[in-house]
Every structure is written in C-alpha cells, then in structure tokens.
C-alpha cells in the first residue's frame, strides 16, 4: 500500500518579490528561480516582502506583509478589514487603476479569442465605490474560543469568516448593522444553527433571510421580529430549501405580497422582486446600464425585440416602452412568473414572457419562429455559446450582449463574428468596485 507523499513545508521567512503585473484575479505576479509567484495585496512596479501561504508544482502563493517600494496607484483601503476580508480584493488600488485593470482584462480576452477588437472602445461606466452593494449572502458562525458570533464574508483564500463589525461597500441599511446583527444572533437560542443571512435591498425596503437549520423557539422568532420592527427590515426564515422561504415580518397575506421593488425612472418602470430573486447588486450602475443598452440597440416603435436570459424584466420592460413588441425568454420559471407580474404592474401589453432551455437548440419554440429586428442577451457567467450559434438565424440587425464574464463574452463574440456580425463597440461597467469582477457590454451589427 503506497503512502501519501507529505507536502513540503512552506518557507517561514518573508521573501522579497518584484511585482511585474497583475493576474486576472488581481494578484501581483513575480518570479523566483523561474517559478511564478502570485502575491496578494501587491501592485505592478512594487517591491514587497511577502509570506508564503501556499505552494503548487508550477506556482507559489504569497501575501504581501510589507511594501518596500509603493506604486503610485496604491491607496489606503477605505475599509479597516480590507487585508482580512475576502469580500473585496482591490481596495488598496486607486479607483482609476481598478477600472483600467478591468478594461485591460477585457482587451486581453478579446485578443486571446481570435484576435477580436471592437471598432470603438467606449468610456467605462463608473459608480461610487462605497455603499453600493444591495445583494449579499452573509455567513454566520459561532466561535467558542471567542465566545462570539461572526457575521460576514470569508477571509481571503480560506473558509474562516472574517471578524468584521461593518461593511463599507454594502448598502448602509445593512453594512452599518453588522454589529447589531451579531449581537442579535448571540442572544438567540439558535445561535449555533443559523447558517447564513441572505440580504436583499430595494429602493423601498431591505430584507434579511435567516437560514435556520432547526425550528426556532417562540422567543427567537419574537427577537427577529423585534429586530425588524426597530430597523424597518423585512424578516424571512428559510428552514429548508429555497421554496421554504417565508416572511414573518411584516405579516403578509400570502407569498404574492413578499416583494421589494426598485425604479427605472427614465422608462417609468417599477420592478418588484422576491428577496431570493436575482437582481443587479449596484443600482447606481444598473440604471445607466439599462439606458446604454437601449441607446445601443435603438429599438423602434415598429420593431420586434428579443430579450434572452431576461430575468424579471430588468431590460425587457424598458424595451417594451420603446418597441412595438418584446419577447422575454428565461430558463427559470419563477423569473418568468415575476416578469409577467411586472408587466402587469406597469400596464405593458406589448411584452410576453416565455420559459425555455437556452442551453440547447430553441429554434423550434413557438416564439422563435416570429422573427426579431433586434436582440438583447444577458447570460450568466457561463455565457451563451450555444445560443450564439443560433442567433444568426433570426436575422436581427443588432445584438447587444451584456456580460458578467469577459472570457465567455470574448468566446461568444468569436462565434457571432463567424456568423456574420461585426463587433462595433464594447466597454466595461464597474458593477463591483474594489473587486476583480468585470461587467461589460458589447454591440454587434450584422454585416
């Protein structure tokens, strides 16, 4: 029986690293004796002392412990927990440098996939870097050694929860209440069995969904209700799967009333959503993002528009205000229902929502035979390679692609170009400031 080979012990003394550039995940890159070193917390052009935190055959992982020569792009993080918390990774970098890094990431991915280059690069879409995040899943853990309940995000590159008492990037209605939330959970009988708190913020209200792995005592339920009452929060419980989520405060007559909402004033549209629904995390980017998408698509009153991966109607309903007819297609049936609810709420009769599997050939669907002049697509991180193979069959003159992953956007752009479309323009949107997440938009026109 073979014995498992023991891992070689990591060096304990910090080493000097000369940082050459950034990786796509925001770590500094240096080399030592031909081996790549990924250094957390380091910027290009810097000399840093760094401690080993991991080692693989082809690369080492380190964390900067001292900056010997600082980059002009280095700043003091706005958050006291930036070095520990894994929620953000670029707070030590100026906002301008962060956006430039994201632009370069998109450029490199386009170049990697067939040497594609947009005819025009548009200016980045920016937002305030703090108090922007409206959606989050906060971990909860009781730590016996500290006799304390932690609430927040994981530490950088491990599974431990960071010990934080506030979060400056989150909506203040949540970010400034981390300490109060910790104190509440510590006083509950279920302090060991609350696994996480899902947070969702609308324009009108904030919801907290407590994942209770055991039934709560009447006293615990009352504490949660009082917490919500005192802070104008909607309180939900999730005893099992997602379909068990239900509101306990304010009291509601049925699930249909369990909604938050946000406005898109430019299009006179109100969108309602359940706290567990997908919505864009950054309202200050979402509004101009929707406006830019419609500006690029140029929908006309006599045109038919197709919105793929439409969700609850974030783009679909504004499109319905400007187009003759809109069809929204989504793979999640719950979102199809939500889209129809929102169309009715806004009095829009020229829009229809359909459920369909968008990972395969959907050309036999009834809606697909109707023909479309323009197409908007907003897929998940995995992209829409299969969808793009079929889009040319619609003959749409313009396609706007909204992406949350530059790698899959570049890959899918290659498919569309091969199908006879030009990549007219592209640009990044800083939906997640202080992180390496790259949101972008691209416009394609038929040759």
Q: What is the CATH number of the domain that holds 387?
A: 3.40.50.150
Q: How much is the average pLDDT of 267-294?
A: 97
Give the per-residue pLDDT at 425. Answer: 98
**Tally: H helices and E strands in the chain:** 9, 22
What predicted TM-score, i.e. pTM, was given to this entire model? 0.94
The answer to whether residue 268 sits within a structural domain is no
Q: What is the pLDDT of residue 354?
A: 96
Q: What is the CATH number of the domain that holds 8?
A: 2.40.50.140
Do 121 and 147 belong together in one domain?
no
User: Is the same domain home to 297 and 398?
Assistant: yes
Supply the range of the domain harboring residue 32.
1-74
Asked if residue 301 and residue 176 are part of one domain, the reply reads no
Domain closes at, from 56, 74, 92: 74
How far apart, in whole angstroms, are the C-alpha atoms of residue 138 and residue 153?
Answer: 6
Residue 311: left (phi > 0), alpha (psi -120 to 50), or beta? left
Q: What is the CATH number of the domain that holds 220?
A: 2.40.50.1070
Same domain, 346 and 385: yes
Task: Give pLDDT tens digits for 187-198.
Answer: 999 999 999 999
Residues 314 and 442 in one domain: yes
Question: For position 364, what pLDDT does the model report?
Answer: 84
Q: State the number of CA atoms in the 13 A half-sphere of 24 facing the CB.
A: 10
Mean pLDDT for the chain overall:
94
State residue 5's pLDDT score.
58
Considering the domain architecture, whether residues 294 and 399 belong to the same structural domain is answered as: yes
- Whether residues 337 and 431 share a domain: the answer is yes
Q: Is residue 86 one of the residues assigned to a domain? A: no
Looking at 250, 269, 299, the residue that finishes a domain is 250
Same-domain status, 166 and 110? no
Classify burial at 382, counting beta carbons within 10 Å of its beta carbon; exposed 0-12, middle 13-18, buried 19 or more: exposed
pLDDT at residue 7 is higher than 80: no
At 105 the pLDDT is: 96
Residue 90 covered by a domain: no
Res 114 pLDDT > 90: no
308 lies in the same domain as 362: yes
Tens of pLDDT, residue by residue over 25-59, are 999 999 998 899 999 999 999 999 999 999 988 99
Average pLDDT over residues 14-28: 95
The predicted-structure confidence for 324-363, as pLDDT tens digits, reads as follows: 999 999 999 999 999 999 999 999 999 999 999 998 788 8
Residue 388 is a catalytic residue: no
> Is residue 293 located within the same domain as residue 440?
yes
Residue 9 is assigned to a structural domain of this protein: yes
Q: Which residue(s) pair with 230 in the sheet? A: none
Q: What is the pLDDT of residue 255?
A: 66
**Whether residue 348 is found in the same domain as residue 441:** yes
Crossing angle (nearest 10°) for helices 178-187 and 218-231:
160
Considering the candidates 17, 79, 167, 404, report the single residue annotated as catalytic: 404
pLDDT at 446: 96
In a domain, 96, yes or no: no
Q: Answer yes or no: are the C-beta atoms of 295 and 320 closer than 8 Å.
A: no
What length does the chain have?
447
Q: Which residues contact 366 (CB under 8 A, 6 or more apart)?
A: none
Q: In this structure, is residue 434 part of a structural domain?
A: yes
Asked if the peptide bond before residue 250 counts as cis, ω within 30 degrees of 0, the response is yes
d(CA 205, CA 189): 27
Is the residue at 185 inside a domain? Answer: yes
Question: What is the rounded distance in angstroms from the CA atom of residue 274 to the CA atom of residue 378?
Answer: 20
Q: Which residues contact 72 (CB under 8 A, 6 or more apart)?
A: none
Task: Quote the number of domains for the chain.
Answer: 3
Rounded to whole angstroms, how far apart are CA atoms 4 and 44? Answer: 38
Return the structure tokens found at 252.
């509601």
Q: Which of 194, 190, 106, 206 is nearest to 406 (CA)?
A: 106
424 and 294 both lie in a single domain: yes
Residue 275 resides in a domain: no
Question: What's the average model confidence in pLDDT over 144-170?
Answer: 94
When pLDDT is cut at 50, 70 and 90, the band that residue 6 belongs to is low
Q: Scanning the structure block, which residue is given the tokens 């038919």?
A: 304
* 3-to-6, 8, 331 alpha-carbon distances in Å: 9, 15, 48
Give the pLDDT confidence score for residue 370 in this predicted structure.
Answer: 84
């Amino acid at each position: 029986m073979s014995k498992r080979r023991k891992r070689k012990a990591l060096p304990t003394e910090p080493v000097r690293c000369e940082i050459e550039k950034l990786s796509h995940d925001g770590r500094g890159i240096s080399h030592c004796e031909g081996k790549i070193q990924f250094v957390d917390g380091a910027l290009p052009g810097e000399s840093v002392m760094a401690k080993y935190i991991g080692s693989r055959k082809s690369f080492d992982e380190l964390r900067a412990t001292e900056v010997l020569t600082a980059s002009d792009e280095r700043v003091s993080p706005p958050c006291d927990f930036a070095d520990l918390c894994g929620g953000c990774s670029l707070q030590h970098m100026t906002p301008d440098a962060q956006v430039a890094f994201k632009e370069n990431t998109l450029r490199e991915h386009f170049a990697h996939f067939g040497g594609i280059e947009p005819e025009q690069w548009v200016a980045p879409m920016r937002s305030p870097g703090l108090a922007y995040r409206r959606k989050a899943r906060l971990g909860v853990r009781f730590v016996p050694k500290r006799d304390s309940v932690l609430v927040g995000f994981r530490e950088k590159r491990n599974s431990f929860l960071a010990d934080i008492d506030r979060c400056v990037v989150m909506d203040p209605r949540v970010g400034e209440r981390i300490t109060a939330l910790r104190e509440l959970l510590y006083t509950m009988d279920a302090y060991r069995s609350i696994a996480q708190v899902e947070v969702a913020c609308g324009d009108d209200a904030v919801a907290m969904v407590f994942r209770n792995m055991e039934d709560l005592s009447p006293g615990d339920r009352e504490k949660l209700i009082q917490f919500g009452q005192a802070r104008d929060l909607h309180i939900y419980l999730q005893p099992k799967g997602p379909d068990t989520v239900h509101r306990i405060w304010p009291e509601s007559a049925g699930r249909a009333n369990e909604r938050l909402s946000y406005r898109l004033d430019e299009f006179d549209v109100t969108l309602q959503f359940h706290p567990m629904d997908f919505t864009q995390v950054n309202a200050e980017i979402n509004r101009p993002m929707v406006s830019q998408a419609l500006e690029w698509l140029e929908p006309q009153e006599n045109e038919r528009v197709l919105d793929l991966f439409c969700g609850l109607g974030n783009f679909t309903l504004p499109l319905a205000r400007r187009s003759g007819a809109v069809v929204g297609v989504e793979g999640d049936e719950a979102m199809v229902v939500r889209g129809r609810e929102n169309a009715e709420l806004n009095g829009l009769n020229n829009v229809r929502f359909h459920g369909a599997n968008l990972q395969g050939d959907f050309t036999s669907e009834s809606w697909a035979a109707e023909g479309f002049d323009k197409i908007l697509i907003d897929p998940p991180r995995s992209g829409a390679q299969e969808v793009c193979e079929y889009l040319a069959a619609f003959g749409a003159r313009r396609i706007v692609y909204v992406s949350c992953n530059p790698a899959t956007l570049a890959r899918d752009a290659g498919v569309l170009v091969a199908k006879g479309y030009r990549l007219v323009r592209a640009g990044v949107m800083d939906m997640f400031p202080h992180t390496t997440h790259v949101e972008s938009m691209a416009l394609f026109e038929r040759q």
